[in-house]
């Protein structure tokens, strides 16, 4: 327990100090997105890694948060601080209601249903032009303001987003270690066994689904208020898949893994930029190689790689 706390404090310090290392520059902007993606992959990881329920439609919840927040603050001139929780509550309520029928499904049927849900939401963004601005997007979304500070630069946004991300992280770490977390893992391993032991798996799954949607929605609202412009293309099927990839590459059922996955997949395109049109090939190939050689994700793969390297270094003279 103490080790967990230390780890979290260390991580937070790293996050706080990072801007000193990469002052100004474009990297700050990328790190803002690492934060948003970390929140999103934690949200999906709670569902997939802890409760064992797949979702291929999380970009939809992300988009709903962004659009609700965006529409409420532009068309209805609501204060962003009021719009964000309102959006999250609506999205959470919606996920709760749809959760009952959808989580009855299993395996690939669940995958298909969530995928369909994501696509329906995406189509609604595109088609309700009067409300969302349609495919050309919604612009003029206000930045967040607090005590006279407007979050309108990369550095300010960095602190805003990462404060939120750290809050989501500590909440999820606590949840994972709590009674609920244990019940969830039981559902993950065997739903029937969990039920026999008195876990109301059905309600639990729906609750986690709604929670996951709420976090995604908050991330969406924050995204909208930092970008000040949103368009449906950012919330399509591809992004749902990208989120899934972040979670799996990072490591299922690990909060820090979600961060690693989000960081890797957000930073990777930056490193591949020089490779021009070859980047998509490298990206696809890397995904495959990662799953082949680090099937447990980065969070388990990096330590074992480290151990392997240390061992082979130390091991050599021993063998001789």
Show contacts with another protein in window 246-305 (CB under 8 A): 248-249, 252, 269, 273, 276-278, 280-281, 283-288, 291-293, 295-296
Mark the segment that binds another protein (CB under 8 A) among 96-104, 170-178, 208-216, 309-317. 96-104
Q: CA-CA distance, 293 to 301, in Å (whole number)?
A: 8
Non-local (6+) Cβ contacts of 108 within 8 A are none
The interface mask with another protein, positions 107-146, x = CB under 8 A, is xxx-xxx-xxx-xx--xx-xx-x----xxxx-x-------
Structure-token pair, residue 91: 């999205």
Q: CA-CA distance, 114 to 118, in Å (whole number)?
A: 6
Whichever of 273 and 314 has its CB closer to another protein, that residue is: 273
Structure-token pair, residue 255: 């909060």
Helix (H, G, I), strand (E, B) or coil at 26: coil
Q: Which of residues 32-91 bind another protein (CB under 8 A)?
A: 33, 48, 54
Single residue of 8, 12, 16, 30 touching another protein by CB under 8 A: 30
Shortest separation between residue 278's beta carbon and another protein, angstroms = 7
Mark the segment that binds another protein (CB under 8 A) among 21-29, 78-86, 169-177, 309-317. 21-29
* Total residues binding another protein (CB under 8 A): 71
3-state secondary structure 201-231: HHHHHHHHHHHHHHHHHHHHHHHHHHHCEEC
Q: Does 320 bind another protein (CB under 8 A)?
A: no
Shortest separation between residue 97's beta carbon and another protein, angstroms = 12
Quick check: 61 and 91 in contact, CB under 8 A?
A: yes
3-state secondary structure 248-308: HHHCCCCHHHHHHHHHHHHHHHHHHHHHHHHHHHHHHHHHHHHHHHCCCCHHHHHHHHHHH
Whichever of 1 and 288 has its CB closer to another protein, that residue is: 288
């Amino acid at each position: 327990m103490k080790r967990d706390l230390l780890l979290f404090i260390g991580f937070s310090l790293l996050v706080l100090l990072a801007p000193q290392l990469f002052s100004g520059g474009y990297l700050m902007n990328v790190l803002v997105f690492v934060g948003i993606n970390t929140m999103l992959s934690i949200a999906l990881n709670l569902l997939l890694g802890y409760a064992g329920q797949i979702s291929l439609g999380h970009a939809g919840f992300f988009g709903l948060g962004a659009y609700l927040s965006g529409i409420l603050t532009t068309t209805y001139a609501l204060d962003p601080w009021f719009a964000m929780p309102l959006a999250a509550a609506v999205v959470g309520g919606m996920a709760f209601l749809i959760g009952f029928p959808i989580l009855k499904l299993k395996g690939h049927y669940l995958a298909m249903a969530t995928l369909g849900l994501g696509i329906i939401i995406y189509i609604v963004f595109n088609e309700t032009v009067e409300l969302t601005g349609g495919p050309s997007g919604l612009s003029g979304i206000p930045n967040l303001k607090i005590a006279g500070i407007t979050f309108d630069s990369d550095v300010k946004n960095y602190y805003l987003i990462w404060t939120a991300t750290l809050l989501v992280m500590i909440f999820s770490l606590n949840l994972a270690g709590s009674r609920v977390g244990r019940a969830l893992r039981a559902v993950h391993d065997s739903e029937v066994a969990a039920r026999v032991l008195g876990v109301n798996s059905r309600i639990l799954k729906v609750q986690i689904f709604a929670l996951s949607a709420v976090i995604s929605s908050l991330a969406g609202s924050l995204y909208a208020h930092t970008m000040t412009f949103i368009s449906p293309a950012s919330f399509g099927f591809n992004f749902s898949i990208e989120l899934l990839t972040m979670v799996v590459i990072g490591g299922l059922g690990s909060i820090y893994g979600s961060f690693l996955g989000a960081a890797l997949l957000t930073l990777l395109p930056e490193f591949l930029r020089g490779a021009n049109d070859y980047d998509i090939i490298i990206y696809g190939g890397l995904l495959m190689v990662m799953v082949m050689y680090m099937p447990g994700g980065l969070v388990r793969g990096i330590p074992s790689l480290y151990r392997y390297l240390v061992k082979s270094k130390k091991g050599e003279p021993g063998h001789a």
